[in-house]
Amino acid sequence: MFSFDIKARLSHSKARSGIFDTPHRKIRTPELAIVATDAQLKSLPNEMLHELPNPYFIVNTYHTYTKEIIPNIEKRGGIHTYMGLEDRTIATDSGGFQVFSLGFGRKHKIGKILPSKEQYLAIGEDDSANPIQITEEGVKFEFDGKPLELNPEISMDLQHKIGADIMMAFDECTSPLNSYAYIKESMERTHRWLDRSIEAHKGHEHRQALFGVVQGGEYEDLRKRSASVVGSKDVPGFGIGGSFGDFKEALGTTVGWVTDILPDEKPRHLLGIGKIRDIFAGVENGVDLFDCVIPTREARHRMLYTKKGRLYLRKLKHLDDPIDPQCSCFACKEKIPLHQLWDWFLAYDSRATTYMTIHNLWFYAQLMQEIRESIEQKTFFQLKETYYKYY
RNA sequence: CCAGGGGUGGCGGAGUGGCCAAUCGCAGCAGACUGUAAAUCUGCCGGGCUUUGCCCUACGGGAGUUCGAAUCUCUCCCCCUGGA
């Protein structure tokens, strides 16, 4: 269980394809996890989940905890039966990301990827009035008026209850606005939290794979330090989190510092990354697993993924054609015309976002398969060229 | 025919003498979205320009009052609600 077999490697690159054996499925890598924050996909009825082509999903511990979904998951005997996905690999995020996204990130209305240097200078570092208190012990916050707490032990306990195949160690995701000193301090705390996560996970190793998470922001020395500390732990795989630099091209380089040091024979999951260019950059730098809200969120925002790039439904709303005649998703197979999707959208008919979500998920499933095959057939760089024309 | 209430930008609907080219919502146009507080958010949205400003045309039509009117008066047209 949790063996990782690398099937093919690409020369002049760190890219590899492989098979990660998890209790519910052997997933072929590279693969992207679809984000099901509340143990369900937004805009998609649970009954339809098992009809999706995607083999890998990720559920959020923070949200299932605060919304008290976990007891229901337990009652159904775990996340796989709860979601009706007995034959898929499911991961859980630790809740650590919310420390950032609901704390510092929300205060500054910023994601972990910095939009521009100007914004950085305009905002500066200011961590006052962070609604979430972070200490060595863990994190205290309020939800719906009631005080709650999250720390490595609590996160592990909750993730055990959810029962996913892959779990993430409890970490803190820092912002590009944080100082070097803060990112270093936070990273070291994340390392200590990793030891506590591993300790709290004892006895569950056969059933659930705990991934240690590498942090260190955009700094080479911190990333390398984190990779060597986290990489030395006896865990079956690794997450790579945080921000990767103040311009998008830095992602590959930053990830590369980490994957050079992490044990080669274990899988790496690049947390929360999923733009198409970034997937290619990640794969090229030795990433095996990804997860991202982009396919689902953008579908709800009427952005359709096709081989010819991202398409605004708004601009195609008069067309009688399906989204992509080559695609085999439900929307395209049923030849649902673009104008119909638009009419549904205007009428607040959920079929609009449901079909668009399904389409984008199909697109990403297909993309990941093409990437795997291209590594095995040594055509990865041609494939990358093709996609870079439109993405 | 009488009484009352209305007619505002593509639509809905504010405004009732100057700060009104006119709040706001919808639709329209452009963009964003990376371990999901997101079917969300941002910008534009009468026309033209030398676009932190200027000019033109505009709040049913016309005529007035006034330094100044979408806002007041008169008149005409149209719509709605009661009553003959």
Specify the pLDDT at position A73.
97
Longest dimension (CA), chain A: 58
Active site positions of A, annotated: 93, 291
Helix, coil or strand: residue A139: strand
Provide CATH code, domain A4-292: 3.20.20.105
> Which positions on chain B have an atom < 7 Å from some protein CB?
27-41
> Which residue minimizes Cα–C1' distance to B41?
A301
> In which residue ranges of chain A is pLDDT below 50?
118, 121-125
pLDDT of residue A129: 57
Q: How many CB atoms within 10 Å of residue A136?
A: 8
Contact indicator for A335, A327 with CB cutoff of 8 Å: no
pLDDT on residue A205: 97
* Residue A275 CA, nucleotide B67 C1', distance (Å): 63
Q: Are strands A237-240 and A209-214 parallel, antiparallel or unpaired?
A: parallel
Rounded, the Å distance between the CA of A122 and C1' of B50 is 33
Interface confidence, given as ipTM, is 0.90
Calpha distance A216→A228 (Å, rounded)? 12
Q: Tell me the three state secondary structure of residue A195.
A: helix
Q: What is the pLDDT of residue A246?
A: 65
Can you give the distance from the CA of residue A109 to the C1' of nucleotide B32 in angstroms? 14
Residues 6+ apart with CB under 8 A from A330: A51, A355, A358
Give the number of residues written for chain A: 391
Lookup: nucleotide whose C1' is closest to A102 CA: B37
Render the burial of A259-284: b for 16+ CB within 10 Å, e for the rest: bebbeeebbbbbbbbbbbebbbbbbb
Secondary structure string (H, E, C) spanning A90-128? EEEECCHHHHHHHHHHHHCCCCCCCCCHHHHHHHCCCCC
DSSP 3-state of A338: helix
Name the nucleotide with the smallest C1'–CA separation from A168: B35
Nearest nt to the CA of A38 via C1' is: B36
Q: Can you tell me the distance from the alpha carbon of A283 to that of A276, in angstroms, rounded to the nearest whole number? A: 11
Residue A105 has a pLDDT of 74
Strands A16-22 and A4-9 turn out to be antiparallel
What are the boundaries of each domain within chain A? 4-292, 316-385
Instruction: Round to whole Å and give the CA distance between A229 and A240.
Output: 13
pLDDT of residue A299: 97
From the CA of A302 to the C1' of B57: give the distance in Å: 38
